[in-house]
Structure 1
Amino acid sequence: MNDKEIQALQEQVALSDDQQAFKTLFKHYYTTLFQFAVSIVKVRESAEEIVEDVFIKVWDKRRNLTEIANLRLYLYVAVKHHCLNHVTRRGNTTELDPDQLDVVCAELVPSPEDLLVASELLQRVNRSIHELPPKCRIVYKLVKENGLSYKEAGEILNISPRTVENHIAAAIKKIASVLDADFPLPRKSFTLPGVKN
């Protein structure tokens, strides 16, 4: 869904109490918010409850939905705060430490032809993503898989956009090193036709 479609659904919910539009928003955001919550609270059932509670509060305050310019960012921040409250109640740390997050990044899903040609390569790329340091992996997931901007990811994790950029660069370098290992450049020198070395 693009931003205009999201905005239209927000307006339908806020102005017309449109439950179907609300369900559409819920389905659109649920999985990524749930995965984010699990990475913080570590318990699937708690993560489910937290995301559902956030959406219940959004429904309760639906009249204000038109005032939210970036619903995705708003939901991530709300889920983060609910998770931190949950963790605090359990007696754990009160600050979000990205090094403690353990997110599962979506694996690349190849077509049947890709499976024949590159299943080994895909497995290596997926393994390299999984082996990223926790902070780097959560940043990669938020930016590359969930489509958040560097600024949005930084706001969620309380780090600067520049730090987000550095994590993305490190992740891409790690993934590229796997690709480079599988496709080494030829060692012989390149010559233009008709030109002697």
Structure 2
Amino acid sequence: MNVSVDQNEEKLLVARLREGDHLAFRAIYERYADGLLRRLLRLTRVDHIAEDLLQETFVKLWEKRETIDPGLPVKPWLYKVAENLVFQFFRKLALDSRLQNEMIEWYGKENRIAFEEELFSREKQDLLQKAIQQLSPQQKQVFNLCKLEGLSYEEAASTLGISPSTVSNHLVKASASVRQYLRQHKDSIFCLLSLFL
């Protein structure tokens, strides 16, 4: 299909959706549900959880339809909502031992270790991202370049157009802020601290 025709068709669908048109909603569902379900299955690895989160994604689309901009593609909006729902699910899972046991059953006993590592990894990533979001814009850039991307002070300085000593100063402050944030949330997860000591 011609890309511009496809984009124009989607704009019309979203405009109709905003007005409460159920047929437009169904058309958007049929266009994106299969791809979203595949993405959710990759993230959760459990059919019924992925299907539940898919339905919840489209419920949110319907509930938030009046706030969606018809001039923007709806696909990124759907994928962002779906991924946020996955993170919310794993956060809830981290606090609910009954739900953890249910998920382990679905994963199968042979996959228990892999499941627990996946859960731990997701919580780690989520907590680290929250810690990084607390930083100033410059500290965030320096932290991402040096700690997460592995650039040297000189490489980060060249990328940002600042001196290596300024990079060092920002990194010291950023690392201290991240450590403090992680310590405050040590009941959720504590081993991340070793990355920044």
Specify the TM-score bucket, using the shorter chain as the normaliser.
0.3 to 0.5
Could you say which structure has the higher helix fraction?
2
TM-score (norm 2): 0.45
TM-score (norm 1): 0.45
